[in-house]
Amino acid sequence: MSDWMVTHSPSTGRRPRALSPLREHLRDTFWFAPAAAMVSVFVVWVVASEIDTALVGALQDEQEYDTIEDLLKVANDAKAVVTTVSSAMMTFIGVVFSISLVAVQMASGQFSPRVVRIFVRSRITKATFAVFLSTFLLTLLVLTAYDSEPDPRRVSSVPLIQSLLTLAMVMLSLVLFVMYVNTTLRLMRISQVIARIVGESFRVAALMPVGPPADEGALGPETAWIAHEGRAGVLRDVNIARLVRVARQHDVVLRLIPRTGDFVLPGTPVLAVHGGQAPPRRALRYAVSVGVERTFHQDLAFGLRQLSDIALRALSSAINDPTTAVQALDRIVQFLAALARRPLHASLHRDRKGAVRLVQPVPGWTDLVDLGFTEIRDCAVGNPQVTRRLLAGLDDLALLVPEDRRAPLLRHRALLAQAVETGVPVAADRAFALQPDRQGIG
């Protein structure tokens, strides 16, 4: 079986999206959604203000003073509600923010610091904060539209539409608050956190469709390499569409040297050029993204890293929760089983004509198996629930993978048996710990 994975070919029909890295980076931020929502609500308020002005002006032209008086009565009642909402909304926001901090602190301490990004990327959390802040801003804007001494015969504006819009935002805030609390409580459960991690991992794998294999020697000789210029940090992702386009324009093949998730230093090679001269620096600007932490985007191994961290934290003497480690192992086995027969090692990106233009390294099968099992296996001795589940997982994977991928699984099985033989003094306990069980102990 080939060790190459093709992410675009004529048979797949899927092209990399140019804005994909930008979209993922915005999802990793917490400011964009509230800022965009507040700008939007300001625009809506301007429109509603114009409608209110036109409405009152039309009534004045028709001398509908009784109607205006009725509107003023309704608007004055709404003003009292808007004033109350304005004074209470910031307190409400503080309560929600406190809930988030407690949830993040508990998740970071009990699971892993890497899972904090799940809360940051949570759509319902961002939507709740965005709507709350937008409601508070709207109440301030609406209060400025009220006349201090309303008079039906010289009224300039009756913000009835604005008041109704504020009440609608308050109702939306209440609905989102209930949804937010429900989601936050779910994310405080380890099973939900693990399920989120696995879901993200499967999405990363789904963006790497398998196509016809390519000959590794077809890339041509390496003619140049491009060094990283910028700050040191973790390689988060690359702009695939831009790199493919630049390589096609200069008739070369670009090969990414570090893997996504590697720590890169300024001056170290980041791109190798095959088959021609290196493209100019300005053409490759913003094509490689470096940050302070890893992300799921284009990082196939990051999900296994988080699952392994959760299992290791659960097996530590401070937590001592082998059942959580078993839950993490369940998902590790599930993810590896999904990749059992997929070609790995590199991702080939092609242009419209099907020519390889970008080679992006991804972890191989042995790398993924070692990442998923090595550290857990070292800490599992003395926890029969974990060793039994680990053995069952290795046996299940050995049945699913091709013959040439069984070696790392058998190696981990032998090392686990050896560690149990050495670390467990009682023969009956050793026999119990080395009996495969998909539930651990149950």
- pLDDT tens readout for residues 34-67: 899 999 999 999 898 888 777 766 655 555 445 5
pLDDT per position as a tens digit, 103-124: 777 777 777 777 777 777 888 8
Task: Dihedral sign for Cα 120, 107, 297, 342, please.
Answer: negative
- Distance CA(381)–CA(417), nearest Å, equals 9
Task: Dihedral sign for Cα 195, 201, 204, 205, please.
Answer: negative
Residue 298 predicted with pLDDT over 80: yes
Whole-number pLDDT of residue 18: 45
Q: Nearest-CA neighbor of 390 among 336, 317, 341, 318? A: 336
Q: Which two tokens stand for residue 205?
A: 């794998």
Q: Residue 235 pairs with which residues in a beta bridge? A: 290
Whole-number pLDDT of residue 147: 62
Whole-number pLDDT of residue 150: 52
- Distance CA(313)–CA(110), nearest Å, equals 7
Cβ–Cβ under 8 Å, residues 237 and 21: yes
| Residues ≥6 apart with Cβ < 8 Å to 437 | 388, 389, 391, 392
Banded model confidence at residue 433, pLDDT cuts 50, 70, 90: very high
- Distance CA(309)–CA(293), nearest Å, equals 15
Whole-number pLDDT of residue 58: 67
Say what the pTM is.
0.80
The domain locations on the chain are 31-188
Task: Dihedral sign for Cα 372, 376, 381, 384, please.
Answer: negative
